[in-house]
Amino acid sequence: MKCYFSRMRPRPRAVPSALLFALALVCAGALGAGAPAAAKKPKPAIGAAPRVVAARKEHDAGVRAAFAAAGVPYPAPALFIRVFKKDAVLELWGGKRGAPLALVKAYDVCAASGELGPKRREGDFQVPEGFYRITHLNPYSDYHLAMGIDYPNAADRIVGYKPSLGGAILIHGSCVTIGCIPITDEPIEEVFLAVLDARTAGLATVPVHIFPTRMDDAGMTFLKVHAGLDATLRAFWDELKPAYDAFEKSHLVPRVTVEKSGRYVVHPLP
């Protein structure tokens, strides 16, 4: 119950203080008109959420088999996700900490929005490009299951159009998107389980690298043509390429830092 007051009323008659006190209690809900609202039942923890329970029943054996076939222990001590926008592919890599990773499985990205290039503002429909990490798992998503990434990251916050950078970028199920990465329901169930189980076992960070395309010689030739006279876009893609090259060479996820200018600096692991 809400109390509403008006500044344009005629001067009221005097009201007994006892009545005023009673009215105040009613406004505050202290008189308990009607039964108190029932507290909302808390949702089950991620691992006990109905969609996750169903996904485990359906896919647990297959996920473990895929990791075993790649020679990766399960839950994986290390995980890495790469996304290639033009190629519409999400790769799931796994391995031991500090050791070269192995490709466990690749999944089709079923829909896209925007164009090649980074996300710079809210409402631009762009899928981000750059270096991110999984921040949270949502088993109650409108898109079946979802994993959030940390867009805007430090670089985005420097070079993006402030204050409206946007956010809520997800890897999720279903097949609709406005700036997210949808891989449909069954694939997200597999990736979600792999990430959940690794995190439960103690994995702190799952890096996610999002590239415009595979940045090999053919890919870079395509990107130069695609960028045309846009020197800013060409320079941005040149920042991403060292990370692509470093991982292709060693299968170790390189360390990436951000300069004050917002420029990425890649530090390949020895």
Evaluate if residue 175 carries a pLDDT over 90: yes
Distance CA 103, CA 94 (A): 7
Q: What is the CA radius of gyration of the chain?
A: 25
CATH number for the domain running over 46-267 = 2.40.440.10
pLDDT at 64: 98
Domain boundaries, the chain: 46-267
Q: What is the mean pLDDT of residues 211-215?
A: 98
**Residues 242, 253: contact at Cβ < 8 Å?**
no
User: What percent of the chain shows pLDDT beyond 70?
Assistant: 86
Distance CA 67, CA 85 (A): 24
Catalytic residue among 172, 175, 226, 251: 172
pLDDT at 106: 98
* Of 181, 200, 228, nearest in space to 81 by CA: 181
For the chain, the average pLDDT equals 88
Q: Which two tokens stand for residue 216?
A: 């090999």
Evaluate if residue 28 carries a pLDDT over 70: no
Task: Please confirm, yes or no, whether 172 is among the known catalytic residues.
Answer: yes
pLDDT band per the 50, 70, 90 thresholds, residue 34: very low
Q: What is the mean pLDDT of residues 126-152?
A: 97
Distance CA 268, CA 264 (A): 13
pLDDT at 25: 38
Other C-beta atoms closer than 10 Å to the C-beta of 125 total 13
Q: What is the mean pLDDT of residues 8-31?
A: 39
Distance CA 238, CA 241 (A): 5
Task: Please confirm, yes or no, whether 27 is among the known catalytic residues.
Answer: no
Catalytic residue among 59, 144, 180, 209: 180
